[in-house]
Chain A
Amino acid sequence: MITTTKEAEATVVNVTIREAKFDKADHFHSELVQLIDRGEKNLVLDFSQVTYMDSSFLGALVSSLKYALAKKGEILVVGLNKDIDNLFRLIRMDKVFKIFPRVPEALHFFHER
């Protein structure tokens, strides 16, 4: 479901499913928690391959952010398609996550911090 690449600034997590739904939510959450527990606290989640996200998966994503914040980490989100980006803004997820168009912009954010 995910592949990871470790960069100097953060770990880039490529989400490799098309439909991010309730049946993948728990698994996704536990994979992110494992990464954070391993010390990879700054994550860039790349959703460019994802075409649809339901509320259960969003819940898992937000829970992962809560977990990361408690461990002094951060999760950035990139590659949202138009519909998902619109949904994020409608339900104020854009106030919860920092959203960037692509991975380099997100890595740049970590670099400049």
Chain B
Amino acid sequence: MSKPSKTILLVDDHKFTLELMSGALKRQGFSCLEAQSVAEALSILDKQTPDAILSDYLMPELDGFDFRRILLEDHRMKSIPFIFLTSYSDEELISKGYELEAVDYISKETPVPLIVSKLNNLISTVHRQHEQSISELRQAAEMLNLKTVPERIVAVPGFQIDFWHKSYKDYPGGDFIDCIHANEQYTFLVLGDVMGKKWGAWFFSFSFLSYIRAAIRFCVYDGEYSTSVIMQKINQVISLDPMLGQVLSTLALVRIEHSSNEVAYTGAGDLPLLHYQTETGQLKAIQSSGLLLGLFENGSYSEDKITLETGDQLLCFSDGMIDYEDENGEKKSDFDYFTKSIQPLLARPDAFNAICERTVYTHTNRAQIDDSSLIFIKKTMPQ
């Protein structure tokens, strides 16, 4: 997979300057978006987010300062590195630019190689600062013992249980996994995906997990083990929560009975589970009826019972596993492609590792574009 090129938005009312600069930057490996006015630039920014913006000062109608002011008011666009490009070397103009949090100033007379190295430095500095902030937040979360993925899953007699999680570009995201050993008889497995933006989703995933853990524990305490009843209770409390009621999450809830080969499953807006039957080699999708958590007070939750014979496998996964970017940079969600590509792997004794390897695309050039999570359950012993 080749490294994607950095995208620069160039804004200049002179078409010739725009084409000259764009051509020079493209020859240096950048992708360029071109706008001849602030209005045109805003329309481009509505659809795409460049790595940096290089804008002229003086333009008819809205000028570069107006442009910068508009961007500073927009939460999404204010953090895009912004550089003024000008033929003026007026100190006053330069200082006005810096007051508007422009990160740099480049004269149009600057030789192209110098502009390129300034751009590269700027983008990597922003990237490094960003990574440092993420690393600090992650360390803080670890110190507070906040984990949305368990360090290890408890051993369940008669079953091989594994999980795998890979966050998108190492950003914390909305996927969460948990394994709750309820008592000597039952273990519950949960896999969810909070539908939100990276950090936002990550923060909310802790709240969702707290409710889910509590609901399972309370139900088990009352002798209630039905996954559909537990799911409905989780949904009710989340719908009543003034904050979480505005956020939505998928959830797959799987109950394993240690002394049985029957597994119970209830889903909430999640992808179907896949059941691999070792005797026939068939892979069957099990689709639940339940709706996303927090959507309606009654989420129409049903309970499926799945019988696992020795060697049978059950796969529960988030949408990141089926999303990918193809060779042409087109993003896709393809459940059937995922199913077909893993089916041959499931007959192997190391099926779990083979699926994980396949998903990090060591054997293809299809790139991961979202958080990917998987819970793998295999029946290992006859009852």
Contacts and interface: CB of A to CB of B under 8 A. Distances in A.
Interface of A: 1, 16-17, 19, 21-27, 51-56, 58-60, 62-63, 66, 83-84, 86-87, 90-93, 95-96
Given A51-B331, A56-B195, A63 B248 contact: yes
Contacts of A83: 332-334
Interface of B: 46-47, 49, 75-76, 174, 193-198, 201, 246-248, 250, 269-272, 287, 289-292, 295, 300, 319, 323, 330-336, 369-370
A96 B289 CA distance: 12
Nearest to A23: B49
29 contacts: A1-B47, A16-B47, A19-B331, A21-B331, A22-B197, A25-B196, A26-B76, A51-B332, A52-B323, A52-B330, A55-B193, A55-B250, A55-B370, A56-B197, A58-B195, A59-B195, A59-B247, A60-B195, A62-B195, A83-B333, A86-B335, A91-B250, A91-B270, A91-B319, A92-B290, A92-B291, A95-B300, A96-B291, A96-B292
A14 to B, nearest CB: 13
A52 B331 contact: yes
B295 A54 contact: no
Given A52-B323, A55-B174, 13 more contacts: A24-B47, A25-B197, A52-B332, A54-B319, A54-B323, A54-B331, A55-B193, A55-B195, A62-B248, A90-B271, A91-B319, A96-B291, A96-B292
Nearest to A66: B295
A24 B331 CA distance: 15
A51 B323 contact: no
Nearest to B292: A62
